[in-house]
A and B are shown apart, each in its own frame.
Chain A
Amino acid sequence: MTDDRDFHVRAVAEGGVLGGGGRGKVDGLAKITGRSVFVDDLVLPRMVYAKVLRSPHAHAKILSIDASEALAMPGVLKVMTGEDCTARYGAIPVAQDETALALGKVRYIGEPVVCVAAVDEETARDACRRVRVVYEPLDAILSIDDALSADKPFIHEWARKPSNILRKVDQEYGDVDAAFAASDLVLEGTYDYPGSTHVPLETHAALAVPHADGRLTLWSSTQNPHYMHRTIARVLGMRPGDVRVIKPDIGAGYGGKCDTFCTDVCSAWLARALDRPVKFVFEREEVFYAHRGRHRTKMWLKMGMTKEGRVTGIDFKAWAEGGAYASYGVVTSFYLGVFMTMPYKVENYRFQSHRVYTNHPPCGPKRGHGAIQPRFALELHLDRMCEALGLDPVQVRLDNLIEAGHETVNGLLVPSIALSECIERVVQASDYRAKKGSLPPGRGIGLACSAYMCGALHAVYDNDLPHSGVQLKCDRSGRVTIFSGTADCGQGSNHMLAVFVAERLGIDPTDCTVVEADTDLTPVDLGSYSSRVTFMAGNAALQAADRLRSQIASALAAKFKVPVESLVFAGREVRGAWRPIPWLEAVDIAEGHHGTLGSVGSYKPPKIGSRLKRTSVGPSPAYSFTAQVAEVTVDQVSGVVTVDKMWAAHDLGRVLHREIAEGQIEGCVYMGVGEALLEEQAYRKDGVHMTPSILEYRIPTVYDTPEIQVLLVESHDPGGPFGAKEAGEGPQLSTVPAIGNALHDAIGRWLTNPPYTPEKVWKAIKGR
């Protein structure tokens, strides 16, 4: 294991482009000068605007819609209802349950019902208010218990066997009961993890443009241009080749922009109906209804341990409240359990989950999708068992760790892991051992670990095609253009692509232009979800760069009569001939030798893991690991919790760019602190959102954010590009349980239901 600081120094000394080192990122200058172009910044001739009217009912039949008054208003061009576009779609092929606008009935308060196109936004908004919709309210399903009850109506009727349970998963590996019988301690506990939402600062936006030849361009603030492309073509009944999806700069997503939204479908439908460009941008409040955030999850966990601290078996049940549509919920139902068999060795594991429908805004993938909730339960539970057995939480974690090459009982093969180093480094940096149990009253320290994936082995629709494609163009100008279907959401994937290509060709990342996320121009990439981009698109970029390098090398070898192997690409030149050949000249020679230069690369995950059949959701080509320590102070009078500092050590395989990697981890910890202390997507008893604004929902400001110390740990994954793994999602998993464990150290109570609001903490202190 290399120390990351040495690595950084070495990378810089070698003149390589890996490491970062205060050089920014390729699209950084546009961002800091406000020149990045987001959907809402685009204006086109003849462009009109769309707005929607939303449902005031949690569950109701739509009896009639009368838009005559709206249509009579000057400036109103078109009114669209659910009947205009009836094709059902959804993120996952087995659960296509959405339409762009409610069709026949509404399923949550805030669901889009009618869409109006008008000459400006204000007119469209006013016109929406003048549409008369008559509803017949239905009994609403507003909790997990409601959804499991037999006497409630069904929210959806499309399935062969209608049910308010979208998916139930049952899995068992090994012999859990025998394992418990052989344990010195078997502990049961329940946990209730809250729902929360992404709040990307840019609201969802789309701009659809019809063309003279009948084609359509859709600019969308999407994380997944490829899936969006398929959905839009299918829903509008167009040939995929006639639809072009472009993702411009987006104001982040964190999973919240993975789905297709009414902004996309309505703008596209209206653009074709009106033959004019249509822009549709959500207002802030609407983002809370579009949601797709964290599922509120109730959990029951039973775990066995020997008196030496070895984990013998886990029995785990989870009930996830999913809201009114499936979104990625089928996948969530698996993610809730699949990663419980790492990073600690668990040979006996039983798992059951229910992902249910309720009449709330739909849940979906939020950073750490489905894995956040069970990780919280497991890490708190582990500390509780350590306490009961009088064991050291650090040692117990270290003793149970899996090793590189381990295949979990549910079929996940782990090629690399440096978690023991992560644990040692956070424990040391935070002085955990000295502080644990010895801080003054009201102060505490806690540790937690986690594991996450680097992309899924399977696409959301079954196919045998590459998951990532990269194409390179290079000519006598010396510039290398990288075409890739990836979607940079701010995580820095554009820069990563440039780093991979530049490092291989011996040039600088700023010598590359990245053209991304345009389905007419860029090869398919599945998108920014499941932390797949660095790993998968990175490998594709390396393959393309290697092929381009071979072309150039073979031309130079022929001209200078040297073996290809002797040529070294570095410092904007090619060395190894009798004189160094400047990059420009090298490209010139290669273009003359071969004709036009270009290359492609692709990545398809290997079929790994011998028990693959058992778990089709969860297997990944590699896994990242994190250890975190939280130090907290609790005001005993008010119950206010302050996180004083967070230490996060993350095994990211290899550091490709220090500041970007640290920034991803800091962003994860930040979001975790929000979920631990402040944030909750909560509803009143009648289904009304309690906090649909940035002020009320309470995302952390600079005042609420602790100091975060990041420690980068490298494990050099054998399949990762330059050994790299993910860094943008996994680190959020251990933040909340680290804070939960610290809270116990501070006040002697296990708080199993974040967010840790003053009220909850105060009640815990008072023993209520």
Chain B
Amino acid sequence: MPTEITLRLQINGEQVRRIIPANRSLLDFIREDLRLTGSKHGCDVGDCGACTVLVDGAPQLACITLAAECEGAAIRTIEGVTDGGGLHPIQEALHRHVGAQCGYCTPGIVMAMTSLLEADPHPSDSAINEALGSNICRCTGYTKILAAVREVARPGSPS
């Protein structure tokens, strides 16, 4: 049995404390221990972005992050993307544009875009590409996702 550790962190604004194996990935911790299943396994080796969550505001691949590394951090997942519930503007736009087909990549993409838009409410196209570059979507060809992000980034101008 691997060594166990006591982990304390904040998840979607809530303080949690759990005893976990020291080698537990952040993704398994979120999905299995906290039962927040919105973050997805796509590859488990950092290639697809389906597991993207925010660690202290920055997007991170939860599958290749050790939960233990996040001691004291504030984690945000798709379940806590808006504070008091409701939809984030990027979620609303994705919905209207049908930016989610199967929806498996969507939580990761919402988190990556949330982080981008919080850091810079009006990102350029190249900044959007860069922020989306490590998220694979196999369904949409990114077209509707980009349309949604551009609409939020540049309200009023045609996407």
Q: Which residues of A contact B (CB under 8 A)?
A: 20, 22-25, 28-38, 40-41, 43, 198-203, 249-252, 254, 281, 283-284, 489-492, 657, 659-660, 662-663, 666-667, 669-671, 673, 693-695, 699, 701-703, 705, 707-708
Contact = CB atoms under 8 A, between A and B. Distances in A.
Contact of A701 (B35, B98, B133): B133
Contacts of B144: 659, 662-663, 666
Nearest to B90: A32
Contacts of B48: 201, 694
B57 interface: no
A375 B111 CA distance: 40
A254 B141 CA distance: 13
The interface centre, meaning the residue of A252, A491, A703, A708 with most chain B CB atoms within 10 A of its CB, is A252
B101 to A, nearest CB: 4
A697 to B, nearest CB: 9
A23 B97 CA distance: 8
B96 A203 contact: no
Contact of B136 (A31, A36, A673, A694): A694
20 contacts: A32-B94, A34-B107, A34-B110, A36-B103, A40-B40, A40-B41, A203-B42, A252-B104, A252-B139, A281-B41, A659-B96, A660-B98, A662-B144, A667-B140, A667-B141, A699-B136, A702-B129, A702-B132, A703-B133, A705-B143
A281 to B, nearest CB: 8
Interface string B11-39: 00000000000000000000100010111
B38 A35 contact: yes
B106 to A, nearest CB: 5
Interface in B79-108: 79, 87, 91, 94-107
A284 B43 contact: yes
B50 A283 contact: no
A670 B102 contact: no
Q: Which 6 A-B residue pairs are closest in the complex by CB-CB distance?
A: A34-B38, A490-B102, A670-B141, A31-B103, A251-B104, A34-B78
Contacts of B132: 702
Nearest to B98: A659
A708 to B, nearest CB: 5
B89 to A, nearest CB: 11
A663 B31 CA distance: 30
A757 to B, nearest CB: 20
Contact of B106 (A31, A663, A695, A703): A31
B73 interface: no
B138 A200 contact: yes
Contacts of A708: 141, 143
The interface centre, meaning the residue of B44, B45, B96, B98 with most chain A CB atoms within 10 A of its CB, is B98
Given A32-B87, A33-B87, A695-B47, A202 B142 contact: no
A25 B139 CA distance: 15
Q: Is the interface of B mostly helix, strand, loop or mixed?
A: loop
A38 B137 CA distance: 17
A32 B136 contact: no
A32 B101 contact: no
A701 B47 CA distance: 11
B96 A254 contact: no
Nearest to A201: B104
A699 B96 contact: no
B92 to A, nearest CB: 8
B146 interface: yes
Given A28-B95, A284-B42, A490-B100, 18 more contacts: A20-B98, A28-B100, A32-B87, A34-B38, A34-B106, A37-B37, A41-B31, A202-B40, A249-B102, A284-B44, A490-B102, A490-B139, A659-B96, A669-B141, A694-B42, A695-B47, A702-B135, A708-B141
Contacts of A695: 45, 47
Contact of A201 (B44, B45, B50): B50
Contacts of B141: 666-667, 669-671, 673, 705, 708
Contacts of A250: 102
A254 B144 CA distance: 18
B104 A38 contact: yes
Contacts, number: 163
Contacts of A203: 41-42
Contacts of B99: 32
B71 to A, nearest CB: 23
Nearest to B41: A40
A726 B111 CA distance: 33
Contacts of B50: 201
A450 B38 CA distance: 39
A20 B96 CA distance: 9
Contacts of A703: 129, 133
Contacts of B35: 43
B146 A202 contact: no
Contacts of A707: 143
Contacts of A284: 42-45, 47
B97 A659 contact: yes
A198 B141 CA distance: 14
A232 B41 CA distance: 27
A490 B103 contact: yes
A199 B143 CA distance: 19
Contacts of A198: 138
A12 to B, nearest CB: 14
B80 to A, nearest CB: 10
A694 B47 contact: yes
A120 to B, nearest CB: 9
The interface centre, meaning the residue of B96, B104, B110 with most chain A CB atoms within 10 A of its CB, is B104
A29 B95 CA distance: 6
A714 to B, nearest CB: 19
B140 A670 contact: yes
A269 to B, nearest CB: 24
Nearest to A283: B44
A13 B141 CA distance: 30
The interface centre, meaning the residue of B44, B47, B138 with most chain A CB atoms within 10 A of its CB, is B138
A202 B104 contact: yes
Given A24-B95, A252-B138, A694-B42, A32 B129 contact: no
A151 B107 CA distance: 53
B98 A24 contact: yes
Nearest to A254: B138
A703 B137 CA distance: 12
A139 B132 CA distance: 46
A659 B41 CA distance: 27
B105 A201 contact: yes
A22 B79 CA distance: 24
A563 B52 CA distance: 59
A29 B133 CA distance: 24
A279 to B, nearest CB: 12
B38 A666 contact: no
A701 B140 CA distance: 11
Interface string B39-70: 11111110110100000000000000000000
